[in-house]
Structure 1
Amino acid sequence: MADSKANDAERERSFGRAFDEMRPVQLTPNVMKNADGSCLAEFGDTRVLCTATVEEGVPKWRRASHGCGWVTAEYAMLPASTNRRSKREYNGRKGRSMEIERLIGRSLRSVVRMEKMGEITITLDCDVLQADGGTRTASITGAWVALHDALMGLVRANKINRLPLTGQVAAISAGIVDGRALLDLDYPEDSHADVDLNLVGTDAGGIVEVQGTGEHSTLTRAELDQLLDLGQAGIARLVELQNNVTGFRL
């Protein structure tokens, strides 16, 4: 009986979730007065502030693109976002932060027609207020909302003719923990996952990027398919939540 109770405790997930359920997700737009677009993305106890800034001009290397715009991102974890203070990255950016912000930028650009933007740059700043796993996936999901609102502002100001978006993009994590495939890992699950996977996808069901690692074991093709199925179901739910706060329609 004691062993049975211990096994049940091991299977207990945060927020009493089933294996295929996400943490409670909240996307709150327009949280920053001075940003051109903003969204507070909350995945359970993970909270990321995503802001969009529109600037005239494009990077020097982009100027030969004949009127195309640019979308880029920056990512940082605030010092008190984890249980031990992390130092600010004034000099020498951490490899992890650079990898995540490049992922965010690639993900957003996958659904933007930059040739319809004109020579403007939109920077998405994703600042982690509180980290409990899935900060990169929350960043991508919230950054799309901030990007949408910044672009809508350009439309309303008659700076571009129409919204240059081809669709939505969102992201979610999945993994194998103690032999079980789980959706949306929190930090305790992520920190001892056998396999960890991040999936970026679109509202049309397309896959933008898959980041998967066998942390402590390999995985079979069937297990990979299961994780992808879990992830795409989660992305469909996130896309719905994005729609709820933006009213986006092609």
Structure 2
Amino acid sequence: MSMIAASASIHPLAVVDDGAVIGENVKIGPFCRVGSRVKLGDGSELISHVSVTGLTTIGRNAKIFPCAVIGGDPQSVHHAGEETTLTIGDNCTMREGVTMNTGTAEGGGKTVVGNNNLFLANSHVAHDCILGDHIILSNNVMLAGHVKVEDRVILGGGSAVHQFTRIGRQAFIGGLSAVSYDVIPYGMLNGNPGILGGLNVVGMTRAGIERSVIHQVRRAFKQIFEGEGSARVNAEAIRAEYLDCPQVIEILDFIAAESDRALSSPHRGKN
């Protein structure tokens, strides 16, 4: 039997399978389908023609627009029907045609989306992706499997991200860009292949980062990518110089971390 809060509003032309958990003040519009293992948080709204399926949990105040499919099976040839999950945080908006898949057994079994995220029309979050908070995926953005996107990243329309790629906090990805390699925090990447063109200074300023700090990050960027050694060697060489600048240390830690992908740079798209 479904657990449906008394304050929930479900249109008579919607289908809610037995076993679904529907929170307080949830609105489910006509021609929506909610699967038996779905949990919808308080205050969420499915406008119409929305499918939420699989072992999917959606937090409070989600708003999902027509033709979105949330919690579908992973699009992976290795998926053999294992029980995997999709978890979405609070205050997320999914516009028309958005798709999000559950994880795969080999990838850890879970796709995780944080809070306060905006997914514009026809954007896609594939299996085993891990997304932070305050992220914007513009129209037709495609995240392949196992992608990690940190807080406050913006991806421009039509951009595509290769599997296993990491995108650091507050990076900006230009429209139609091909993201084949990791993008450092605060980086700005454009083109196909994607080239790291500099720093997301506008985003840093809007986030309240002081101009003096932005100048330090700019100087570190040049030392990392214009030095004689590789980016990773250069990054480690300057660490002691920036111990009092958390933003630079964040970039250096990102570069030093293990990854399945190379590092985007201003040179040939990787370093």
- What TM-score, normalized to structure 1? 0.24
Question: Higher helix fraction: Structure 1 or Structure 2?
Answer: 1
Higher relative contact order structure (alpha carbons within 8 Å, sequence separation ≥ 6): 1
- What TM-score, normalized to structure 2? 0.23
Q: Determine which structure has more spread, i.e. the larger CA radius of gyration.
A: 2
